[in-house]
């Protein structure tokens, strides 16, 4: 019945339309969405609690505030390229279980941390688990639902991420105000337990039956080493640049150049030397997939930077509390979920993705451009209303970017192609947060009044450390500082506008390719009849071997 649009793949495909959606299928979807919710909730909640966290840990240097977000993103970015290989070699279910356990361990460390090193170590461990969760949720959806029907499910995942992103800042703000920010991490534990139970009970997926030696032989050790080290070097450079050290410092330039060279070496090795490549040349050799990867990067950088830096505007310029700044983000939260599902549904109905992406990008460009109108004395409804428009554009675009990535590729490439796309998302988070942070920091150093700057001799933590001091300032200094924040944030809005325009330009070359209607039989849910058949087969094989 269903066959892929690429020749040579039909023997491994089976039409999803021939299968009814069983209760087990929907429980698997629930487990996937719960896993995604867990990672998104924690990541976005930290944005409003960040100033409180930095101030609450005694030995946390102010210049290291950016590592609260970057340590997580660095670990996730380093792990993501190998997640596709692990899923192919060991199977989806074991990797999901290990990722959840690692995430829980990291959350426990963060919640109990009394020193900077312990907290950042916990964030790093969380990042490894969160990276696995993000990649495997998308891979498992691709195993269960053909690309032609995946718009609705991508929209469902978009809603899950959006709801978590909406309530995360509010929860983070409430806990920060009550000096209970540690519960931001402890609350992950019962959610992890719930998701783990769902996974253990219902996520019964096909698993490769090979020996451990054979599994390890399929792992691309050299490629993994190159991408982990080069990603780490580049993230370190971006994290330090403009905040800890000037952009011209050798401490920034050396890791930046080494990271860039390492990424070039990684792709060269994968394309020409690797026996079991993590990234195939096929993924980047066609303009549609390449366009999809670039768009995936850009939209994630825009969304995460918006979520991270709009609370700075609300807290610094509008004197909002951490909880209030989370509530003020509801403008984005109200429209991002419904437009995510609307974008996904339209792809399923019309079996095309280009118009949705172009409309989404144009709305995103408009929504980031009008942020330049925001001043320190702008009415609250103005910034919240801008968020409504931003949610519409970003929601459609976020849901649709995977389709140009996967449409030109065979379904057998799903795991590695998706893990690379999720890697681009994670790397975009690092770049967006750190670059916008450096832009804001440099603007504040230039625009804040000298009378206020003397309170921060090191001048490293103006973006977050100074926010907590604004509400208690006397007039007219308070108004001057708020105006300086609004002026400095204009540079951040310009950066978001540039990234949005770049995303739209990257979308122009993509082709409108038919969406796959089939699945790879190698993966999917093991039904009870199949499980019984496998047991019988194993018994027969054992009897033959004994004979």
Q: What is the per-residue pLDDT across 405-426, written as a single tens digit (0 to 9) for each?
A: 999 988 878 778 888 888 888 8
522 falls in which pLDDT band (50, 70, 90)?
A: low
**The tokens of 318 are what?**
């509008």
With H, G, I as helix, E, B as strand and everything else as coil, classify residue 238: helix
Specify the CATH number for the domain of residue 383: 1.20.1250.20
In the predicted structure, residue 326 carries a pLDDT above the cut 50: yes
* Euclidean distance between CA atoms 511 and 100, whole angstroms: 37
Number of domains present in the structure of the chain: 1
In tens, the pLDDT along 26-57 reads 888 888 888 888 877 877 777 667 767 777 77
In terms of DSSP bridges, do strands 13-15 and 518-520 run parallel, antiparallel, or are they unpaired? antiparallel
The pLDDT of residue 431 is 83
* Euclidean distance between CA atoms 306 and 493, whole angstroms: 9
**The tokens of 369 are what?**
């451009």
The pLDDT of residue 494 is 95
**3-state SS track over 295-358:** HHHHHHHHHHHHHHHHHHHHHHHCCCCHHHHHHHCHHHHHHHHHHHHHHHHHHHHHCCCHHHHH
Which among 325, 332, 366, 86 is positioned nearest to 207, based on CA atoms?
A: 86
Which residues, listed in sequence order, are joined to residue 13 by a DSSP beta bridge? 520
Domain of residue 297, residue span: 21-207+214-219+276-527
Whole-number Cα distances in Å, 391 to 99, 441, 469, 489: 30, 26, 30, 20
Lowest mean pLDDT among 299-313, 323-337, 404-418, 495-509: 323-337
**The tokens of 32 are what?**
């996937």
* Euclidean distance between CA atoms 72 and 95, whole angstroms: 19
**The tokens of 455 are what?**
């309170």
First CA to last CA distance, the chain: 42
385 falls in which pLDDT band (50, 70, 90)?
A: confident
Domain-embedded: residue 458: yes
**Highest mean pLDDT of the ranges 56-60, 310-314, 520-524, 533-537:** 310-314
In the predicted structure, residue 225 carries a pLDDT above the cut 60: yes
Which among 56, 45, 41 is positioned nearest to 308, based on CA atoms?
A: 45
Mean pLDDT of 168-173: 77
Domain-embedded: residue 171: yes
Domain-embedded: residue 428: yes
The residue written with tokens 């009394």 in the block is: 114
460 falls in which pLDDT band (50, 70, 90)?
A: low
Domain-embedded: residue 287: yes
The pLDDT of residue 33 is 85
Q: Residue 38, preceding bond cis, omega within 30 degrees?
A: no
Domain-embedded: residue 338: yes
In the predicted structure, residue 543 carries a pLDDT above the cut 70: no
Domain-embedded: residue 533: no
62 falls in which pLDDT band (50, 70, 90)?
A: low
Count of CB atoms within 10 A of residue 90's CB? 18
* Euclidean distance between CA atoms 495 and 123, whole angstroms: 27
Contact of 134 with 422, CB cutoff 8 Å: yes
* Euclidean distance between CA atoms 387 and 306, whole angstroms: 9
In the predicted structure, residue 544 carries a pLDDT above the cut 50: no
**Highest mean pLDDT of the ranges 230-239, 250-259, 446-455, 463-472:** 250-259
**Highest mean pLDDT of the ranges 79-93, 219-233, 347-361, 456-470:** 347-361
Count of CB atoms within 10 A of residue 536's CB? 10
Domain-embedded: residue 5: no
Mean pLDDT of 141-157: 81
In the predicted structure, residue 542 carries a pLDDT above the cut 50: no
Domain-embedded: residue 505: yes
Q: What is the percentage of the chain residues whose pLDDT exceeds 90?
A: 17
Average pLDDT, the chain: 80
The pLDDT of residue 545 is 41
Mean pLDDT of 222-241: 81
Which stretch of DSSP H or E encloses residue 394? helix 380-400
Lowest mean pLDDT among 246-255, 319-328, 352-361, 419-428: 319-328
* Euclidean distance between CA atoms 194 and 103, whole angstroms: 13
Q: For the whole model, what pTM was predicted? A: 0.80
Count of CB atoms within 10 A of residue 143's CB? 22
* Euclidean distance between CA atoms 65 and 462, whole angstroms: 10
The pLDDT of residue 143 is 82
**The tokens of 261 are what?**
């060279």
Task: Enumerate the H helices of 91-148 as residue ranges.
Answer: 92-112, 116-144
**Which of 483 and 454 is assigned the larger pLDDT?**
483
Task: Enumerate the H helices of 150-206 as residue ranges.
Answer: 150-177, 183-186, 188-202
The pLDDT of residue 397 is 93
């Amino acid at each position: 019945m269903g066959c892929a649009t690429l020749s040579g793949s039909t023997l491994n495909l089976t039409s999803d339309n021939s299968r009814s959606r069983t209760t087990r299928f929907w429980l698997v979807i629930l487990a996937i969405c719960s896993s995604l919710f867990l990672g998104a909730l924690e990541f976005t909640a930290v944005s409003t609690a960040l100033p409180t966290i930095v101030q609450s840990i005694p030995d946390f240097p102010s210049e290291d505030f950016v590592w609260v977000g970057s340590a997580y993103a660095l670990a996730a970015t380093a792990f993501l390229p190998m997640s596709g290989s692990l899923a192919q070699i060991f199977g989806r279910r074991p990797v999901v279980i290990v990722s959840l356990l690692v995430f829980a361990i990291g959350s426990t460390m963060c919640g109990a941390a009394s020193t900077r090193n312990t907290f950042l170590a916990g964030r790093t461990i969380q990042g490894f688990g969160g990276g696995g969760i993000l990649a495997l949720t998308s891979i498992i959806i691709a195993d269960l639902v053909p690309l032609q029907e995946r718009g609705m499910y991508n929209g469902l995942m978009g809603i899950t991420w959006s709801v978590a992103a909406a309530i995360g800042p509010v929860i983070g703000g409430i806990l920060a105000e009550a000096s209970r920010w540690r519960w931001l991490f402890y609350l992950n534990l019962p959610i992890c337990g719930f998701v783990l139970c769902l996974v253990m009970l219902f996520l019964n997926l096909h698993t490769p039956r090979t020996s451990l030696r054979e599994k390890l032989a399929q792992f691309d050790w050299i490629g993994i080493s190159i991408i982990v080290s080069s990603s780490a070097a580049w993230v370190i450079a971006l994290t330090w640049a403009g905040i800890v050290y000037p952009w011209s410092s050798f401490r920034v330039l050396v890791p930046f150049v080494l990271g860039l060279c390492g990424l070039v070496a990684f792709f060269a090795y994968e394309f020409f030397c690797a026996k079991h490549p993590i990234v195939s040349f096929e993924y980047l050799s066609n303009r549609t997939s390449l366009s999809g990867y670039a768009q995936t990067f850009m939209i994630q950088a825009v969304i995460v930077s918006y979520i991270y830096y709009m609370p700075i505007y609300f807290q610094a310029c509008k004197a909002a509390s951490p909880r209030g700044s989370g509530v003020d983000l509801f403008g984005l939260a109200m429209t991002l979920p419904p437009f995510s599902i609307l974008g996904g549904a339209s792809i399923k109905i019309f079996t095309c993705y280009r118009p949705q992406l172009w409309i989404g990008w144009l709305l995103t460009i408009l929504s980031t451009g009008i942020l330049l109108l925001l001043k320190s004395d702008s009415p609250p409804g103005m910034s919240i209303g801008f968020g409504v428009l931003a949610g519409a554009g970003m929601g459609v675009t976020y849901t649709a970017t995977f389709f140009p990535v996967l449409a030109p590729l065979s379904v057998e490439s799903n795991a590695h192609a998706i893990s690379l796309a999720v890697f681009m998302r994670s790397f975009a988070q690092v770049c967006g947060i750190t670059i916008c942070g450096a832009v804001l920091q440099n603007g504040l150093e230039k625009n804040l009044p000298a009378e206020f700057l003397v309170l921060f001799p090191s001048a490293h933590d103006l973006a977050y450390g100074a926010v907590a001091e604004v509400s208690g300032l006397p007039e007219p200094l308070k108004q001057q500082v708020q105006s300086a924040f609004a002026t400095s944030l204009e540079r951040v809005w310009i950066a978001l506008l540039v990234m949005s325009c770049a995303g739209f330009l990257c979308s122009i070359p993509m082709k409108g390719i038919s969406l796959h209607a089939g699945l790879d039989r190698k993966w999917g849910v093991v039904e009870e009849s199949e499980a019984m058949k496998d047991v019988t087969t194993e018994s027969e094989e054992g009897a033959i071997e004994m004979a």
